[in-house]
Structure 1
Amino acid sequence: MDQDELVVRLSRDEALVLFEWLSRTDEATNDFGDLVVDQAEQRALWNLTCLLERALVEPLSPEHQELVNQARSRLRDGN
């Protein structure tokens, strides 16, 4: 690992829910809208979206939405 890299571990549920939110937010605004105050933040979010997309198979599944719903359910407090 490069000294400038940081490794973050996510559960598959966390990764899927985060990917879904990032994708939906970017699609709605084309640039993450008012969430970013600097283009570097936008680039970081795009890069994270790409990393998650490469790591996940669920977005290509015909049952994608059901898989997202199940992941959300497991992540909610009280579960």
Structure 2
Amino acid sequence: MDEEAITIKLTRDQAFVLSDWLYQVMLQSDDLEGIVHDRAVWSPIYAISGTLDKTLSEIFMPDYGPRLEAAKERLHADLYERADEPTTPGQNTSDAPQAHQIERRTAGNHGESD
């Protein structure tokens, strides 16, 4: 089993918003079973949530709500700004926010290679 650590880089706003979302999702189910049916996914969810909780001082600040809303607004603005940028031939658009540009190669492609 490969236990090499993976590093994920997020902006502070991304981390803050993700932390809040994870907290809300985890609050909806005592053990995530009602939301995430595959128990193998729980381990990384708890690891990410715990890391964010230890890293973000914002979650303990009295103005949590306004800070969260401001972070969400900045992220929304950034997403829409990048979505509206024109692309030139040969430009990499893999980081654009449109869902149709995300290809996981999991649905209907079980073990097959191109």
Please indicate the TM-score interval, normalised by the length of the shorter structure. Answer: 0.7 to 0.9
Runs of at least 5 residues in structure 2 that lack an aligned partner in the other structure: 82-114
TM-score, structure 2 normalization = 0.62
The Cα of 1:14 is off from its aligned counterpart by: 0.2
Higher helix fraction: Structure 1 or Structure 2?
A: 1
Alignment correspondent of 1:21: 21
Matching of residue 69 in structure 1 with residue 79 in structure 2: no
Identify the range of structure 1 (29-38 vs 49-58) with the bigger mean alpha-carbon deviation: 29-38
Question: Are positions 1:59 and 2:54 aligned together?
Answer: no
Q: Look up the match of 1:37.
A: 37
Would you say how many aligned residue pairs link Structure 1 and Structure 2?
77
Runs of 4+ in 1 over 3 A off after TM superposition: none
Compute the displacement of 1:33 (Å).
4.0
Distance in 2, Cα, partners of 1:49 & 1:40: 15
- For normalisation by structure 1, the TM-score amounts to 0.86
Q: Percent identity?
A: 25
Rg larger in structure: 2
Give structure 1 stretches of 5+ with no counterpart: none
What secondary structure is seen at the aligned counterpart in 1 of 2:80? Answer: coil
Q: Let me know the Cα RMSD of the aligned residues.
A: 1.5
**Relative contact order higher in (CA < 8 Å, ≥ 6 apart):** 1
Partner of 2:47: 47
* Cα distance in 2, alignment partners of residues 41 and 7 from structure 1: 17
Deviates more, 1:67-76 or 1:28-37: 28-37
- 1:14-49 Cα offsets, whole Å, 9 max, x none, are 000000000011011122344323222112101110
